Amino acid sequence: MTSPGKPYAQPLSMDTVDLARLQFAITAGAHFLFVALTLGLATLLAVVQTRATFGNSPVHLRMTRFWGQLYIINYAMGIVTGLVMEFQLGLSWSGLTDYAGDVFGSALAIETLMAFFIESTFLGLWIFGWNKLNRWAHLALIWIVTLTAYASAFWIMVANGFLQNPVGHVLEGGRMRMADFGAMVANPAAQVAFWHVVTAGMVVGGFFMAGVSAYHLRRRTSDQDVFRKSLRIGMGVALPAVFATATSGGLGFQTMQPAKAAAWSRDAEELAAAQAEMVAAHGPGDYLPPAGWVQASGTTMLLLFALMMYFLLPSCLLMLFRPVVREFRLWHWVTTLMIPVPFVAMLAGWAFREFGRQPWTVYGLLTTSDAMSPVSAGQMRFSVVAFFTVFAVLIAVNTWLLARHARRGPGAVSLGDRPIEAPVPAPTF
Amino acid sequence: MEIFILAFFALGYLVLAGADIGVGMALPYLGRSAAERREVIASIAPFFLGNEVWLVATAGVLAGLFPHLESVLLTGNHSVVVVLLLAWVVRDMGLWLRGRMPGARWQAFWDGATVAGSWGLALSWGLLLGNVLLGITGPFAVLPALVVTVLFGTHGLTFAALRLRGELRARAAVLSGGAGEGRTYALTSAALVTVGALAGLRLPLDPGSAGTVLVPVVLTMMPLLVAAQAWVWWTFRHRVTGPSYL
């Protein structure tokens, strides 16, 4: 292994490193699009099902089934990209696992067992146990699924926070060893980012719910009651969530690495200082992130935040008036058109965070080229093309399917419409 | 203790998910019409999500407790693992999407994805296990791969025989002959565990240094995880009587 901290000391072909980064970006980007909606929609779904269960309310039951079906279509895409993510580090980044696996691998291990495992097990029970389980048990399941989705986000941000700002470890013979698990978990670069991601997920979920509802209100489809309520829930959640996202994002700026901050502010002096500091610590090399990407993605995120905020402030007033909610078609149109905006903002924020960390995988300790697995350019080309093709097709199919089911409304939902399997007294085991 | 944890999740995956992979492989044989195929899929529907996470957990345990083994295993078998992941994704999408649109062609297409993905998954497991166990690469690696694939398929049939009724159950029981369905399932499970355990013994099983923190956490979690899964098994312990959500 090359010694960490000597960037490009043993350069792999840059092509291969770029391909590996592209592959990770495709997988993580595809994953992030769908899990962002999962995080937000699961929460809203749990709240709606709680109303349906406690109030015995048929409207809320219809809402649960409708949004639940969209949630499941979305979740399926989140899980298949998620399991590729889980293997991605060992496949393409064995330099990272060899060097830092004893520390940050713990966060991944806890994520799979405490979150992924329980989330999937109970989601299966929630889907297939509809009308079969006791309704209180069924309600408990969706809450567990929601909380484990948060736990998942938490431990992934602990792992990511460690790469951004490595704490809680010691170096021993060229490898990291865990020194302080608590410090790794309490890492501000992880904590702040977790709240940022979770609140941004609520923005995504809120806009989605409001946008789909506005479509049905504009088209005057049946189930106006379902969509009036849903529109209000969506917007009512998105507004505070946008402010919470901005607040946690603002705090995040304080946990940024000096080079990322300098690239963002385009301050030549700060950039030179960050570079000089790294050269003094690690020897000659280029230690600055790609400033153009950092600025473009950061600016996109902030502009879209402004757009969402200025849209939501008047909208949350408008939604208080029933005639407006029923009749104001231009507003319905705009609300539906806003659905993609938080998704783009989310991806831009992620690009801002990750581009800004380059050329490091573990900031200040392990460069991206040193983190790569010793695989050939041919192997990497094959896997990039294969994953890209499959994910592109699946994203297209699933987005189309989401749109179709969203348009067709609650009347066409098959989730939970009858006992899935009528129980008969013939035990298998 | 680290090795026990790894073996628990890896072997658990082979037995549990091995069954639903095998049912996916046998789908064209078991289900001759669209309605029959849907009923066959209902036999694994409530389980496959909870089964495949055993492999996700195995990957997590590798990342946390055996980071070096993780990179040796995955980087050393890069292309096989990529194919395995792709087959997994295609198969899952087949299962998730088949029932989301009416149309016979839509369902036939995604049933095809389920079958192709299940075969791809079994074959790449065969290549991976064959490589670890016997160190065979190149064209001859196909032979152990086929043996493992057949094992997955047989295991799937025995599971289907336990879950289905009538004609479908009779088709699934074709290999078990007069032996009891439960006993046949136990036999194929034992065979998969044996292959998995023998392959495991050939791996460089030296744990990393995170065990002091991680092992107690995982051991505390394990009864909870098993209980969660047991709830699923108990809820769906009856034979399939009709189509499921998928």
Instruction: Tell me the three-class secondary structure of A49-97, residue by residue.
Output: HHHHHHHCCHHHHHHHHHHHHHHHHHHHHHHHHHHHHHHHHHHHCHHHH
Give every CB contact of residue A58 below 8 A, 6+ residues apart in sequence.
Answer: none
% of residues, chain B, pLDDT over 90: 61
CB B16 within 8 A of CB B54: yes
Chain A residue at shortest CA distance from B92: A80
Mean pLDDT value of segment B93-117: 92
Candidates B52, B99, B163; nearest CB to A428: B163
pLDDT attached to residue A170: 86
Candidates B60, B71, B100; nearest CB to A94: B71
Q: Which residues does chain A have within 8 Å of residue B162's beta carbon, measured at their own beta carbons? A: 428-429
A397 touches chain B (CB under 8 A): yes
In chain A, where the domains are located: 26-257+290-412
Residues 106-135 of A with CB under 8 A from B: 106, 108-114, 116-118, 120-125, 127-130, 132-133
Cα separation, B41 vs B20, in Å, equals 9
Q: Which residues does chain A have within 8 Å of residue B244's beta carbon, measured at their own beta carbons? A: 128, 420-421
Residue B109: both structure tokens together: 């297409």
A70-127 pLDDT, tens digit per residue, is 999 999 999 999 889 889 888 888 888 888 888 989 999 999 999 999 999 999 999 9
Chain B residue at shortest CA distance from A109: B60
pLDDT attached to residue B244: 84
Determine the residue among B38, B73, B100 to mutate to test chain A binding: the one whose Cβ has the most chain A Cβ atoms within 10 Å. Answer: B100
Candidates B57, B74, B89; nearest CB to A91: B74
Cis peptide before A359 (omega within 30 of 0): yes
Classify A327 in phi/psi space as left (phi over 0), alpha (psi -120 to 50) or beta: alpha
A86 touches chain B (CB under 8 A): yes
State whether B50 and A94 contact (CB < 8 Å): no
pLDDT attached to residue A428: 58
pLDDT attached to residue A422: 42
pLDDT attached to residue B100: 87
State whether B46 and A116 contact (CB < 8 Å): no
Q: Is the pLDDT of residue B23 over 70?
A: yes
Cα separation, B225 vs A144, in Å, equals 13
State whether A116 and B57 contact (CB < 8 Å): yes
Average pLDDT, chain A: 88
Classify A256 in phi/psi space as left (phi over 0), alpha (psi -120 to 50) or beta: beta
ipTM score assigned to the predicted complex: 0.92
Q: What is the distance in angstroms between the Cα of A100 and the nearest Cα belonging to chain B?
A: 8
Q: Which residues does chain A have within 8 Å of residue B60's beta carbon, measured at their own beta carbons? A: 86, 108-113, 116
A4-52 pLDDT, tens digit per residue, is 433 344 445 558 888 888 899 999 999 999 999 999 999 999 999 999 9
pLDDT attached to residue A425: 46
Candidates B52, B213, B228; nearest CB to A106: B213
